[in-house]
Structure 1
Amino acid sequence: MGKTPLYLQIVHLIREKIAKGEWPVGSKLPTQREMAKQFNVNRSTVITAIEILKSEGLLEGKTGSGIYIVNNQWSLLTASAPPDWKELSKWALYPSSDNTVQLINEMENQKDIIQLSKGELGIDLFPHSEIAKTAEKVSGQLHEFGYGDGLGDIHLRKEISKNLLKHGIHASPSSILIVSGALQALKLLSVGILKRGSTVFIESPSYLYSIYLFRAAGMKLKPIPVDKNGFDVEELSKQNIKNNLSALYVNPTFQNPTTTIMSLQKRKLLIEKCQYFQLPIIEDDVYRDLWIDEPAPSPLKTFDQQGQVLYIGSFSKTIAAGLRIGWLVGPESVIKRLSDLRMQIDYGSSYASQMLVKELLSSGLYEKHIERTRNRLKQKRDFLLHLLNQHLVDHATWSKPSGGFFIWVTFNNNIDTRKLFKKCLNSGVLINPGFIYNDNHRTIRLSFAYPSFEEMEKGMLTIKELLTNHV
């Protein structure tokens, strides 16, 4: 194989992928640039391989669209065709993400790109020693790996119940459901509680616009603006709120992507309004423990006397995204319904991950890790603010976040953020443009949690150079 010309090696590999159904008929090939990078060759080598496969009748080019697989060896021999997966996927419950979102998801796993977009703790913030100590201790406690009852491990739920008391939330273990991150909680609610065709009032901008979660479940999204003071409660009051056909999704603490905080007064007013309209509230509070300057106002759930607020938290942001452990607090009837649905879907979250988190909480290691994380996040936030003041003060404005992972940047001039996103990516820097969050202004979201100090500086210099000379 080593002596075979590179272009023939690529021909063989593509034939193999087509033959095995990894690249089925009707699917589009990666771009020539992507394939050249994948195979570590020049684009001319890839072009030669593609031309050979075209001559064999396996590939076909469509002007302005790309190269598509039109046959495989089996269909050429038998005149039969495999299922048209591309057509079938159009009718799938969950449509594909926006192309930009797909590209961001793909590029966030590339080690050679500066990640100014990533919404998770960086390597310098990962609790290496705490995880190692806890994993060693937990390994001797793993006596069984049964499916459980869908609710999640009772010992973990008890620890979460204790932890929630620190924030003023009284939730017994029976009213807590362990989920595989906040997104699964939202998915369970969208298919297990909310009626199809319901209207979900949602912040704008909001990270939920970058996924099709509610829309895929047949919900209508109604945007409510977020300004520097957070969610516009008065605007919500003007809406057509239908009993049993409406719900509110809100992220009041270090809102993603704007990082705004809803004031205590606004929180109380929102609860009053929602009680009046009998509007269920889904409170996403995954960034609560990540305050930097001072703790955020109490969760909406602390003012809930009627079981109106479904409260979501997660350890994906505070410990590690890969653990996939979060929780949902709600009335026991709702939790029971969703635990039954959970058993139908996946039988519950990883038992090993649950035990790991339980031990981190009960041992006090979680609190020590969070305290250290806040100090580090402050250093990183202040450094990115310094870089913004040094390099972008003539181009944009921003506010100082008091917690979370991000800084929300608004450009002064009519900057094409789609063009800026592409230019940055081509220069090895990944940013999140505001349009993926349903923001029509000239905005980008920058992360200080994941990149190193050196990467932040390189990234900001790149953005400055692009704004000055190219965009």
Structure 2
Amino acid sequence: MPRYLQIVHAIREKINQGEWVIGSKLPTQRAIAEQFHVNRSTVITAIEILKAEGLLEGKAGSGIYVVNNRWSLSAAISPPDWEDLTQWSLQPPSDHTVQTINELESRKDLIQLSKGELEPDLFPKAEIATALTRVSSQLEQFGYGNGLGDIGLRIEISKHMQQYGVCTAPESILIVSGALQALTLIAVGILKKGSTIFLENPSYLHSVNLFRTAEIAIKPISVGENGLNIEELFQQKIIKGSSALYVNPTYQNPTGTTMSSEQRKVLMDKCRYFQLPVIEDDIFRDLWIDERAPAPLKTLDPFGQVLYVGSFSKTIDPGLRIGWLAGPEDVIKRLSDVRMQTDYGSSYISQALVRELLSSGLYEQHLQKVRTRLKEKREFLLQLLRLHLSEYATWRAATGGFFIWVSLHKKTNMHQFFRTCLNNGVLINPGFIYNDSQPAIRLSYAYEEIGKMEEAIIKVKEILKNG
């Protein structure tokens, strides 16, 4: 069968089986061409046949969409328009660029300067194999649990937090499937509809619709070289019981900034005065490179004002889906109840694995290797930036975490810049997805190998030079 007819039959099958419903957008012609190992002209031929059959329709500047199936073409009653129905859902879609990045971060043919995860060589295979062997001899019936998570893991996390200076009982810790779930639980389980969340700007939370879903107003507060602009924050209208602060004070994502100990004390003093609850996102803390970061805000919290969020997604692997939330016991009980209404808890195997890594010292052993490698890669990327981009940009060298925040000198169409980088095989995170109106990009040194980082920065230089 000719290739174009293979594509026609494959698309028809997707439509007829209800996998691609009316309103669905087809993958790009490039993606289809790669899937079938053909050139784009073959894909175009197949699409034109399906258009003639009335199954597909092109929308200028948007793409190709399914507009009919064999049932709607032969029946007087049309099937439900799922595309229209999803527009009214509580969860709005992500920004188109964010969707694109999410789809492309698994592509092996792209140089990944966007990924916020460790390189494959830093996956702790030996440590996990050892931990799994030990855990397998301890397995009992899993069950759903009580929503709080495995008590053994909560005990180990409690001990782990003591290293930061945070004293939290296991009863005040909730195991979650990553930091975003912790924040989602807070948004739907504590913050009331119509309240205001003061949110760093730029912040990775601007790239997701987490608080908007819960009908919470977002008030951006700028981030400078020393983290959150405290003076700007307390010039805002703060309403007791209807306001909260989200802050990522250690190796902030995306800027990489870290708030000093002095600024942390000032912030917490003012938050106590204004009775402003604080959500502290501290998922990068264990990834210090030059020296340990200042103690968490939670150490300055004798009254239970701070909800502390941690995660093992950045330090071990995001596929484990294990994080935690620490706070007042009553709040944790409330959120565990909300958690039980959604998914009944995180995977027991993942929890047991992380528990063993912590208790055995394998986690700390792994972290030492990670910090050494991250320092090498950060220094290499900084060297590349000095060598190739000094004429075009300035940047902040983070003292931990994964990212370097690069601010471009010239006014630049960042949407076009993102697409041009992509067309040249380089995937970056443009600043606008974090709500930054200035021309900036977030570069990750954590994932990609050194040789490819160099190739990517040279390409970025050429794009800036010719732009």
TM-score, with length taken from structure 2: 0.99
Distance in 1 separating the partners of 2:396 and 2:57:
50
* Per-residue deviation, 1:69: 1.3
Distance in 2 separating the partners of 1:448 and 1:128:
21
- Superposed, 1:237-252 pairs within 5 Å as 237-252=234-249
The aligned counterpart of 2:63 is 66
Distance in 2 separating the partners of 1:170 and 1:368:
23
Determine if the alignment matches structure 1 residue 205 to structure 2 residue 202: yes
Q: What SS does the aligned partner of 2:20 have?
A: coil
Pick aligned residue for 1:307 from 279, 304, 307: 304
* Per-residue deviation, 1:13: 0.4
* Per-residue deviation, 1:81: 1.6
Distance in 2 separating the partners of 1:79 and 1:13:
26
User: How well do the aligned residues superpose, as a CA RMSD in angstroms?
Assistant: 1.0
Determine if the alignment matches structure 1 residue 383 to structure 2 residue 380: yes
Distance in 2 separating the partners of 1:264 and 1:204:
21
- Superposed, 1:160-199 pairs within 5 Å as 160-199=157-196
The aligned counterpart of 2:41 is 44
State the AA in 1 paired with 2:291.
E
The share of aligned pairs that are identical, in percent, is: 65
Pick aligned residue for 1:138 from 131, 135, 139: 135
Pick aligned residue for 1:364 from 354, 361, 364: 361
State the AA in 1 paired with 2:429.
N
* Per-residue deviation, 1:44: 1.2
Q: What SS does the aligned partner of 2:407 have?
A: strand
Distance in 2 separating the partners of 1:60 and 1:237:
52
* Per-residue deviation, 1:91: 0.9
Distance in 1 separating the partners of 2:196 and 2:248:
17
State the AA in 2 paired with 1:258.
T
Distance in 2 separating the partners of 1:335 and 1:98:
32
Distance in 2 separating the partners of 1:74 and 1:225:
53
Pick aligned residue for 2:224 from 223, 227, 232: 227
Distance in 2 separating the partners of 1:310 and 1:107:
33
* Per-residue deviation, 1:61: 2.5
Distance in 2 separating the partners of 1:402 and 1:63:
46
* Per-residue deviation, 1:51: 1.5
Distance in 2 separating the partners of 1:226 and 1:64:
35
Pick aligned residue for 2:295 from 295, 298, 317: 298
* Per-residue deviation, 1:162: 0.4
Determine if the alignment matches structure 1 residue 217 to structure 2 residue 214: yes
Pick aligned residue for 2:25 from 25, 28, 31: 28
Pick aligned residue for 1:433 from 430, 434, 447: 430
The aligned counterpart of 1:332 is 329
The aligned counterpart of 2:270 is 273
Q: Structure 1: which 5+ runs fail to align?
A: none
Distance in 2 separating the partners of 1:448 and 1:293:
15
* Per-residue deviation, 1:112: 1.2
Determine if the alignment matches structure 1 residue 346 to structure 2 residue 346: no
* Per-residue deviation, 1:138: 1.2
Deviation digits for residues 362-387 of structure 1, max 9, x if unmatched?
00000111111111110000000011
* Per-residue deviation, 1:126: 1.3
Q: Is the 8 A contact 2:255 2:396 kept in 1?
A: no
Moved more, 226-235 or 280-289: 226-235
Moved more, 134-143 or 107-116: 134-143
State the AA in 2 paired with 1:70.
V
Q: What SS does the aligned partner of 1:121 have?
A: coil
- Superposed, 1:33-112 pairs within 5 Å as 33-112=30-109
The aligned counterpart of 1:286 is 283
Deviation digits for residues 233-254 of structure 1, max 9, x if unmatched?
1111111001111000000000
Distance in 2 separating the partners of 1:64 and 1:419:
14
Deviation digits for residues 324-376 of structure 1, max 9, x if unmatched?
10000010111001111111100000000000000000000001111111111
The aligned counterpart of 2:418 is 421
* Per-residue deviation, 1:467: 1.3
Pick aligned residue for 2:122 from 100, 122, 125: 125
* Per-residue deviation, 1:171: 0.3
State the AA in 1 paired with 2:414.
T
Deviation digits for residues 299-332 of structure 1, max 9, x if unmatched?
0000101100000000000110100100000101
Q: What SS does the aligned partner of 2:118 have?
A: coil
Pick aligned residue for 1:9 from 6, 12, 16: 6
Q: What SS does the aligned partner of 2:218 have?
A: strand
Distance in 1 separating the partners of 2:425 and 2:239:
47
State the AA in 1 paired with 2:302.
Q
Determine if the alignment matches structure 1 residue 253 to structure 2 residue 245: no
State the AA in 2 paired with 1:5.
P
Aligned residues between the structures: 467
TM-score, with length taken from structure 1: 0.98
Q: What SS does the aligned partner of 1:345 have?
A: coil
Moved more, 52-61 or 127-136: 52-61
Deviation digits for residues 174-222 of structure 1, max 9, x if unmatched?
0000000000000000000000111000100000000000011101110
